Chains A and B, each alone.
Chain A
Amino acid sequence: MRKWRNRYLIFEIHSPKPIELSKLQLLRHIFDATLKLYGEVGAASIHINLIDYDDRLMRGIIRCNHRAVVKLRAALATISEIDSIPVLVHVVKVTGTLRKAREILNSLPRGLDVGDEEAVPCLTSGGE
């Protein structure tokens, strides 16, 4: 039997404004996304575990089965809003050890400044 191996996904959440989200609430959103996409059996096979989450910087570490990294990435990509606020969950890096994952998490820059409020669409013509 092959050895059980884990992968650690370092992720960050981008949103137009900060979202007050506890570790448990975020885990529920991740479970919902995987459950919708793969069903109960599929979601269980990913072995999701939210190891760390910094609600101020909105970034953290998720552990999963090494065979299910792509599945988890797809599920995270389908999370498009939390509490009616549009979000982008970006997997920064995948590592094989928690120690390395924490090192990377701590070395990430403070956050991405994408500028002011979202621009107002100025329709010229043609576009939909």
Chain B
Amino acid sequence: MPKRRFVDLHVKSSLSSGKSSPSQIARMASHLGFKAIGLADFNLQNIDLLPDIRKIFESYGVDLVARADLYEQSPKLLKSALRKLRRRVEVIAVYCRNINVARLAARDRRVDLLIFSAKSWRENFFDKSEAALALSGESALEVNLIDLIRARSSSERIQAIRILSENVRMAKRYDLPVIFSSGATSIYEMRAPRELAALATLLGLTEYEARESLSKIPLELVLKNREKLSEYYIMPGVRLIRKGEFLGEKMEK
């Protein structure tokens, strides 16, 4: 049986609001046994740094996934951000902070991951309609386990477990893919894959499902998006194999 390739799709570095540098994150990820890390720092201002950061990660044997997190408060702004970023990053996650943004993000096929607040029920917009829309929009639910790790008090952790397990239950009911990430902003908030899987079992998943949510499901998402971003991609199931001639005229592509 091939060895599992674990992925943490949500880590923030000092390129945005994180406390650790990309090289520290790469070193810790390699030590903890991750094969790929999603750095959620990228935007239009710093996307040019991507090749250099990718090299740092490659030197530690970790695959870097370029990810952008969108915090837009209105559907119009979200659409505009998606238009600008979709072709430049491999994964796009949207923080659903109001119902309009949540519904648009679930419907839009350019969105890969939906994130909902685990702090209060009022700010959690993941319901039946949202799950059904997300399924048709081919997006996945992301659960950030930092809400359990960083909880300051028992009541905070109890609330997070209740909200997140309800979201996971709803996603399972609609066959919506669930991806678990650390959501770490520092290397000391990162956790090893098996520890993250153990935390995921607190939310009602079996050990096997939890491991799949940390390896196979995120990996498939990244590979699918990488193929879409490649110059040979035309549409699902159709790829450009080679450039040739058509009726004596050389084709440009």
Contacts and interface: CB of A to CB of B under 8 A. Distances in A.
B195 interface: yes
Main secondary structure of the interface of A (DSSP, over half): loop
Given A77-B149, A86-B189, A114-B27, A121 B69 contact: no
A122 B46 CA distance: 11
B15 A114 contact: no
A118 B198 CA distance: 27
Given A88-B191, A91-B194, A119 B149 contact: no
A80 B69 CA distance: 24
Interface stretch (B18-26, B215-223, B224-232): B18-26
A113 B60 CA distance: 13
B202 interface: yes
Interface in A86-112: 86-91, 112
Interface residues of A, number: 34
Contacts of B21: 115, 119
A80 B46 contact: no
B233 interface: no
- Among A86, A90, A119, chain B packs the most CB atoms within 10 A around the CB of A119
A122 B187 CA distance: 16
B20 A119 contact: yes
Contacts of B148: 78
A80 B183 CA distance: 14
B5 interface: no
A76 interface: yes
A121 B188 contact: no
Nearest to B188: A86
B69 A70 contact: no
Contacts of B16: 121, 123-124, 126-127
B202 A74 contact: yes
Interface string A41-72: 00000000000000000000000000000110
The 9 closest A-B pairs by CB, nearest first: A127-B16, A73-B198, A119-B21, A119-B14, A86-B188, A74-B198, A77-B195, A126-B43, A127-B17
Interface of A: 14-16, 36-37, 70-71, 73-74, 76-78, 80, 86-91, 112-115, 118-128
Given A70-B197, A118-B24, A128-B95, 5 more contacts: A86-B188, A112-B27, A119-B21, A127-B40, A127-B69
5 contacts: A15-B188, A70-B197, A119-B13, A123-B17, A127-B16
